Structure 1
Amino acid sequence: MTPKNNMKATQPREYSKNEFDLFNETEENIEFLIECLQKAGANFTRQHFFLTIHSEPVTEKEWLAAADFPHRGYGEGLWFHAEKEEPKIRELDLYISGLVRQLNRLELFTMGSCDGHGKRYASIIFRPGVSMDKAAKLFSIISDKKVRVRNQRLILPHSREELLELAEKALNIDGATLELETEEIEKQLFFDQLEEILNINGESGNEGKICKHAEKILAPLVDHLTFDSKGNILAQKRYRGGNGPTILLNAHLDTVLPIDPGRIIIKEKNIWTSSSGILGADDRAGVAVLLQMAKNLEKSRFSGTVKFILTVEEEIGLVGAQHVDEYFLWDVDAAVVLDRRGTGDIVVSCGTNGGSSDTRIWAAQGIQSVNLSVGYFNEHTSDEKLDVEGCYNMVKLVEAVFERARELRRALTGRDRKNCILQTNF
């Protein structure tokens, strides 16, 4: 349940942060919601079709306990109201009920589901006539794992906890979005993630919030993730057996200054600026590209190992990068740093005019390194701007590099590790 900005009431209404519109809910669903809120110990008031929650949010674990009950999911023949297209939320397996509801909201009508009960894959059966191409398209947008289509059934290789995340992601999709080309949808979702990252504070030495955000996105996509003694995020993932090069993807988490309180991001076509103070695209744009690549690699043909390093305190002297343990870099064949101004630069030297980046540290370790433009200009000033199309194009460029992994491996074979410059034809 999320606050809504519009409703079918006769009078417009301003919504507070914890006020929710129940106008389109059935009375049965409202009763179940209130029952769960009471079991979870939430403090709330209801006035007609408005619900206001006064207490702090309950944890996901507490909410699942409140929404669960013995034998939930055993009402197989009673999943839908006879006169409506809407499933009975009480009758569905706990971990898949939210996802089923979102599918029906998008008119991808279902007739059966199972969350796998932690023993097998989850599955959803769709009604005859539902476009399975459109259903599969939705999951290609919200899921980093490939689903299988069998007639009118989707097989989901997700844990029950991941099903909850899919429901949350599906909540942000509308029917019109599903009519767009997949590339346009992916681009818009990237822009949404980029905007969220730009609005998280985290100047040098105060990167806690952006660290937690990046960890939440990256952790499910990698084999291992940890924080080193300095607070850098170090992660690793082997793809398709790992029989290929080991590539480092790097960006830095800190901004040179805090984000001004109350500022808004001004969007003029593909150019974003800040209404006050820095935009923070240096290097949040690079962070967004790195996190998107972690998602995209799940579906790519790349075979090899990728190491991800998100550093802290880059803006005050590459401090975080200098404290990364050397052992984490020993097997790295090449480093791709996402922290360069402009939209077309591919810098293959250790430093650049007017400053430097973490590239300098990796090159000093003998790693062939490249620093790529991620779309920002006028960094460190109130005139900072970001070309978001250029930023997204860098996602596609890096994606293409990994798709050509065999050529990349040949380019790296036999090179002297003491040469810090990576020169390829990508």
Structure 2
Amino acid sequence: MKTWNQLFIRQGFILEEKSPNEFICTNERKENVEFLLTSLDVANVDYTFCDGVLTIARPPISEKQWLKAVDVPGRGVSESLGLEEPKVFELDTYMSGIIRELNRLGLRTVSCCDGHGEGLPRIYFDNQTNMEKVMQLFRALHANAHLLQSYPHRVTLRMNRERLLDLAENMRKVQIDWLEQEEQYIQKMLFLHTLEELLSISGESGNEHNIRSAVYEKLAPYVDRITTDQYGNLLAQKKCKTGHGPTILLNAHLDTVEAFAPGRTIVKQGAIWSSSEGILGADDRAGVTVLLEMAKWLDTSSFNGTIKFVFTVEEECGLVGARNLEEYFLWDVDAAIVVDRRGSGDIVTSCGTIQPFCDIRYGQFFEQVARDIGLTHWTCTAGGSSDTRIWAEHGIQSVNLSAGYEWEHTDNERLDTDACYGTVQLIQAVLTQSRDLSRMLRDLRRVDRNDLCYVGRNDLRRVDRKVVKVERVSKVKSKQME
């Protein structure tokens, strides 16, 4: 469920939030405030408005209800905006938030259309607008935007109308001075914004409801399917391009070892974050944030294959969520990448000397990719227990990557946010080389076949700690998620 502030932002209202139900409207133009109040009346929402302060007397309604209230007859019928600050009711329902944000950032628009569910959304900019900055902004937001030479001031967005609302909400986080920086700077600032949001949501083992809801909402716009299984794990899937490449499992855990101290604050000393009291919770909120960033990146990436996301519960008390994951979800997985390791350059390929997570060549692939992009500190190593153990027991080539935190489970926990973002860059680089990754995984499967022994007519069993799929499983497609 969206908050009132999210509902307002996604429609393009520029208000100052004093509390979840109280907003200062003095910086919004009179016509937009009047339209906002009329829309609340249409939605039968009780409120008071006095001296420029809007106070709402009830919890937020669903976005479906809100869209119905603001989608007045004739809205957006004139696509020309003129040069003055646009009025919300003059803009298409699904485009209004983006247009208001672009103009807030000094990127002047003159016309727009949300596609009306039939064509592609498009935006026309003023001839004086710096289109290089426009495209840099869209790339930083992982928006599938295109600029044609024949229309140098028109941007076409290859996304459905619902995604436009999410784009507007993400655009609100961007500060004007960020546009003077490189594209990657904007991406990193947005990443840190999400990281701080997740570090503000407590959720110890067995009490992951709030963090799971927050991650669900952030992940849903970027995946094809998403669900919560019977045990509480959050599962999602995204098919990229043709989907003919490898199927990769991305995993982090939702729970922290204990609840966050009430009223604690995040202490920032440059790139190093810590908690004013108690644990920081970067184990594994850092990993969760890395995976959410990957989900945003996939639409505009060159990765060809399928990504499966698993956000597990109760990892800190014995890998319980992973152990209870329904096996069908793993049947077609070729390899797994877990982000739940301390430090800044570990590629964990085994649990001590007890259990290998993968063929060493899988870990070495990550080492080579890291060197290729200038991240020379990443090396294969042994590590401790994590959900990686469960995926390896299913015969999945798996590694656990550093997420940048240190001294986890203690009051001295800290997070190197630069190292955490470096993990994003490494995984992006690995998936960008999906063809080489797929070839390497095929070679490893050929080696595994030589180690198999038949126990029954249609059944293959575990041999020397290698788990292989039963023959019948190879003929069954991954079960559809409910």
TM, length-normalised to structure 1: 0.89
Identity of aligned residues (%): 52
Alpha-carbon spacing, 1:351–1:233, altered in 2? closer, same or farther (3 Å):
farther
Q: Does the CA contact (< 8 Å) of 2:264 and 2:275 recur in 1?
A: yes
Map residues 222-261 of structure 1 onto 2, 5 A cutoff.
222-261=223-262
Write the letter of the residue equivalent to 1:123.
R
Alpha-carbon spacing, 1:154–1:323, altered in 2? closer, same or farther (3 Å):
same
Write the letter of the residue equivalent to 2:313.
V
Q: Distance in 1 between matches of 2:218 and 2:352?
A: 30
Map residues 23-422 of structure 1 onto 2, 5 A cutoff.
23-76=26-79, 79-80=81-82, 85-149=84-148, 150-351=151-352, 355-415=384-444, 416-417=447-448
Q: Distance in 2 between matches of 1:142 and 1:14?
A: 23
Deviations 1:92-141 (A, max 9, x none): 22221222122222222111111111111111111212122222222223
Give secondary structure in 2 for the equivalent of 1:38: helix
Q: Distance in 1 between matches of 2:100 and 2:36?
A: 14
Deviations 1:247-277 (A, max 9, x none): 2111111111111121111111111111111
Q: Distance in 1 between matches of 2:107 and 2:166?
A: 18
Q: Distance in 2 between matches of 1:403 and 1:42?
A: 48
Q: What displacement does 1:349 show?
A: 0.5
Q: Does the CA contact (< 8 Å) of 1:218 and 1:291 recur in 2?
A: yes
Structure 1: segments with no counterpart, 5+ residues: 4-12, 422-426
Give secondary structure in 1 for the equivalent of 2:350: coil
Q: What displacement does 1:299 show?
A: 2.0
Q: What displacement does 1:66 show?
A: 2.3
Q: Distance in 2 between matches of 1:178 and 1:283?
A: 31
Q: Distance in 1 between matches of 2:237 and 2:75?
A: 38
Deviations 1:387-419 (A, max 9, x none): 111100111111111122233223323324578
Write the letter of the residue equivalent to 1:254.
D
Q: What displacement does 1:226 show?
A: 2.4
Alpha-carbon spacing, 1:239–1:61, altered in 2? closer, same or farther (3 Å):
closer
Q: State the aligned residue count.
A: 408
Give secondary structure in 1 for the equivalent of 2:316: helix
Alpha-carbon spacing, 1:420–1:192, altered in 2? closer, same or farther (3 Å):
farther
Write the letter of the residue equivalent to 1:47.
C
Q: Distance in 2 between matches of 1:337 and 1:16?
A: 37
Q: What displacement does 1:156 show?
A: 1.4
Alpha-carbon spacing, 1:246–1:57, altered in 2? closer, same or farther (3 Å):
closer
Partner of 2:359: none
Give secondary structure in 2 for the equivalent of 1:42: coil
Deviations 1:262-303 (A, max 9, x none): 111111111111111111111111111111112222222222
Write the letter of the residue equivalent to 2:237.
Q
Structure 2: segments with no counterpart, 5+ residues: 7-15, 354-381, 449-462, 467-482
Q: Distance in 2 between matches of 1:14 and 1:346?
A: 43
Partner of 1:424: none
Q: What displacement does 1:223 show?
A: 2.4
TM, length-normalised to structure 2: 0.79
Q: Does the CA contact (< 8 Å) of 2:142 and 2:299 recur in 1?
A: no
Q: Does the CA contact (< 8 Å) of 2:351 and 2:389 recur in 1?
A: yes
Residue range with higher mean Cα deviation, 88-97 or 308-317: 88-97
Q: Distance in 2 between matches of 1:17 and 1:212?
A: 17
Q: Distance in 1 between matches of 2:17 and 2:222?
A: 39
Q: Distance in 2 between matches of 1:101 and 1:214?
A: 26
Q: What displacement does 1:45 show?
A: 2.7
